[in-house]
Amino acid sequence: MNVATPVDSAAPGSLAWPVTAAVRALAMDAVEQAKSGHPGAPMGMAEIAATVWRGHLRHDPANPKWPNRDRFVLSNGHGSMLVYALLHLTGYDLSIDDLKQFRQLHSKTPGHPEYGMTPGVETTTGPLGQGIANAVGMALAERTLAAQFNRPGHDIVDHRTFVFLGDGCMMEGVSHEVASLAGSLGLGKLICYWDDNGISIDGKCHEWFADDTPARFEAYGWHVVRGVDGHDPASIDAATEAALAETGKPSLICCRTVIGRGSPGKEGSESCHGAPLGASEIEKVRAAMNWSYAPFEIPAEVYAAWDAREAGAAASAEWNARFAAYAKAHPDLAAEFTRRVAGEPASGFAAASLVALTAAEAAGTVATRKASQIALGAFADHCPEMFGGSADLAHSNLTTHPKGVPVSRDPAGNQVFFGVREFGMSAIANGIALHGGFIPYVATFLVFSDYARNAVRMSALMGLRVVYVFTHDSIALGEDGPTHQPVEHVESLRLIPNLDVWRPADAVETAAAWAAALSRTDGPTALILSRQGLPPQVRNEAPNGKGSHVLRDPEGAEATIVATGSEVALAIGAAEALEAEGVHVRVVSMPCVEAFERLDRDAQDEAVPPELPIVAVEAGSTRGWKGFVGRSGAVVGIDRFGESGPDKALLKYFGFTVDKVVETVKGVLARG
């Protein structure tokens, strides 16, 4: 790589090198103007950034979604001004005025990088460790997509994933999970730069972070380059070239740096980690860098030295020509690649939905986890972009299907054995979704959604199409006891904005839930599935995406029972028992509260008439349902931890019986 530029009035790596001085200046000026932020990481990583972005990163500022671009992830997202400075300097649609609005409401430069907010930002980072996890997903997606679509002489998928991460990312457990899996899978196009500055917010972190990180990554099966001077472009470049040459292992480049480099009074200390430098210190930095320009002023020659637009346009044009040749040689594959990268529905999706529904109708009494497997197989037959697996519970979650091929055995496969890594698995799924070309699905027991929760939240925050399969959904799990019996989990998942939570009552509703999840393009879906068999329900209409449908609607109804999942059968039994006593009760299955809440008021009232008292029945926390039923209604649920025992005994003990529901309805009616 040629590091030198026409503006090299100082040696690359020196404080006075204008290329990196510009990055440091923009970072400290933006943080100072906002009166908040993290200047230390951008200032400490300026040389690493200059080396990677000017010499190795293949990207097109005019086309941030170019399919074959290299992906860049700033895992230590608190250093967001680093990526904003890089995007601005290299020519993305991010103006100097945007940088002046750093951390301001509705700006394109939020406090942490946010996907969909800033052109060129590949993922939302901030929760430490998840950036590298997303990057593992991107690298896995790249390799798998390449294996599925590349043909001899036509390498249309061939890009790298570059990651910057700090000590905080290294401490987070999720980074251990995903680094281990990345090493096992041999993701050779994943290149990570560890900003080893030894400082976190609380100070010098050797007191609480003393492990031998290079040895740990070597044990994971990574290619590790030790002892790189993170302020020497030549050293960084040599390490990068070595990493690019190693195609069988992911690479960790260990860059020793000084946080806040260039700040005479604050570099190397926690004082520059998460606070503005202050006006007087900034003047000292300017003097140390020989940077005489006003805040946010960048000279034309520095812009020219950073400008990646011409090179980016050439790279994307070259790829476009290659893709045109590919399309001529393999037109069907090219059309399919284009569809999948665009996230458009498969031509066979409608057929798959019909197959799934027909199979569900024939399934009879089955656990909804089994019904889910039937639906998954039907959709996988027609939707090749489906890509997923389980956290070492595939045979319990039933997330295998006849056409499933593990990527650990065939790089063109469509199934991942994630191991016991619920958080890592879910964050990797986000990376797969962000990369494009796949619809990821991942699975574990519902109770262990707690381990995955922050990644689920990030799916929802970014609006990613990820399907979460959470099985063993209640105390009916049985003998494994309260450690494995979810109680509060369904309700807690419903609290996450933009997450659709489906708890189907039978095989037909399960097929409909899968169809809704795969059709959704603006956010994730959680499927909440039973261990025990559930009987098919008699219905006048097929389940739809409205989130509710009426199963029983007698003349003169006096109350409405609203239930989900396994408790729908209980609600039907109670309604039949009440009918025998002359009490007429509606029954509404509500597999997705979120979809129901998106209906207009008239549609909601048609399903659940407001003039009738409501009894909600769900084997979980009652908190959310209490608001739904109001003061005139009641909830049959559970607000304590379960116990170990056979499922039938537990359900009776905790009041999930026909008699209990009947008693509750009568009590509501008696109150008038």
Q: Which amino acid is at 603?
A: A
Q: DSSP letters of 495-524?
A: TSTT-EEE--SSHHHHHHHHHHHHH--SS-
Reduced to 3 states (helix: H, G, I; strand: E, B; else coil), residue 560 is strand
CA–CA separation, 426 and 453 (whole Å): 9
- Tell me if 137 sits within 8 A of 430, measured CB to CB: yes
CA–CA separation, 587 and 589 (whole Å): 7
CA–CA separation, 8 and 50 (whole Å): 13
Cα 552 to Cα 585, 586, 655: the distances in Å are: 8, 5, 23
- Tell me if 638 sits within 8 A of 621, measured CB to CB: yes
Query: Is 594 known to be catalytic?
Result: no
Reduced to 3 states (helix: H, G, I; strand: E, B; else coil), residue 79 is helix
CA–CA separation, 271 and 337 (whole Å): 49
CA–CA separation, 78 and 38 (whole Å): 6
Q: Which amino acid is at 215?
A: A
Reduced to 3 states (helix: H, G, I; strand: E, B; else coil), residue 199 is strand
CA–CA separation, 77 and 127 (whole Å): 8
CA–CA separation, 336 and 345 (whole Å): 11
Q: Which of 32, 47, 336, 422 is catalytic?
A: 422
CA–CA separation, 381 and 352 (whole Å): 7
Q: Which residues are catalytic?
A: 422
